[in-house]
Structure 1
Amino acid sequence: MTAADDVRDPSLPGRLLTVERDALLPLLRSRPDADFALPAAACPGWTVRDVLAHCSAALIRVVESRLEKGVFSPESNDRDIADRADWTNARVLDELERGMTEAGEVIAGRADGVLDGIAFGEWVHAGDVRDSLGEPGAYTGAGGPYALSLLARVTRERGRLRLHADLDDVDEPLQLGATSGTRTPARFIGDTATLVRLYTGRAVDGALYELMGAEAKELNLFG
């Protein structure tokens, strides 16, 4: 994968959500209720259920165009989770499935691409859930190529530091961050999951990778 195309692909977020829906929902529906109460290591203070409730609420806000000022703030997220406190786990999953099915079309319709990052965030939270449940495939899997394309675009549009990534599990190198600048591009060697963890502030304990020309904290999109 080379540098991301400058022309936005409006269908990309929807494809990522659909692929992740088809992989994640059957897994979640097969798990006992007790698993939903497990702590979500990547989201301190939240359980697996809280992460899923946040994800479903965020997508339904997109679907229903309820994106008022302050939405997705920590306070707003906590309110969305609290609003679903009396729901069954099955109802949370039903809402999540609806959101992952319908949000892509709405996101595609925003010509400015301002909502594209929501699909990436949902995919990352799906990785958080897998990680918390001890399931393989966190921050990788079938949605990985779509997620990497979105990550490349987001980092470029935000003018983040330039980085050349040689990924063990992807055939072509990935270019992230700004397309120009005086600073020598950083270089990453490792796998997709570790790269995503670095860019999203997730723990990389025990991961084998090399990062040259930058510190890990410089990659964190949320730091």
Structure 2
Amino acid sequence: MDRTTAADEGRDPTLPGRLLAVERDALLPLLRSRPHALSLLAGITRGRGRPRLQADLDDVDEPLHLGVPSGTRTPARFIGDSATLVRLCTGRAADGASYELTGAAVEELNLYG
């Protein structure tokens, strides 16, 4: 039985998870501008009720808080640059990037997996 839907036909096969081609096209201009990308990322993680993550970014002065506090789980912590964080949150490989992630698995950051 083929379970392909109209939405599946709009998916970009080169992108991970459930990212639609139309979503990718809308996000790419924002991702080229770091402040907009980080604001978008923070809003999406809060809206989806993702676990709390404190990101101490090398290229941003203030810590970025993603997700929502759970009350039962200690917030995870990311130390690295913003480009690596965006790559991890969009399910893309961060091979060769220098970062530290504690309190969460890389897979938990993927918004589309």
Task: Count matched residues.
Answer: 99
TM-score of the superposed pair, with normalisation by structure 2? 0.77
Structure number having the greater strand percentage = 2
What is the TM-score with the length of structure 1 in the denominator?
0.41
Counterpart in the other structure of 1:101: none
Post-superposition CA distance 1:40-78 (Å, at most 9, x none): xxxxxxxxxxxxxxxxxxxxxxxxxxxxxx66x231347
Structure 1 residue 125: Cα displacement: 4.4
1:8-87 pair list within 5 angstroms? 73-77=7-11
Residue matched to 1:49: none
For 2:8, give the aligned amino acid. P
What percent identity do the matched residue pairs reach? 64
| Aligned Cα root-mean-square deviation (Å) | 2.2
Write the distance in 2 (CA, Å) between the matches of 1:180 and 1:147: 24
Q: Verify: 1:122 aligned to 2:25, yes or no.
A: yes
Gaps of 5+ in 2: 13-22
Distance change (3 Å), C-alpha of 1:123 and 1:203: farther
Post-superposition shift, 1:179?
A: 3.5
| Bigger share in helix | 1
Q: Deviations over 1:106-128 (max 9, x none)?
A: xxxxxxxxxxxx4xx4365469x
Which whole-Å CA distance do the structure 1 matches of 2:11 and 2:49 have between them? Answer: 27
1:154 aligns with: 44
- In 2, Cα distance between equivalents of 1:152 and 1:184: 18
Tell me which structure has the larger Cα radius of gyration.
1
1:219 corresponds to 2:112: no
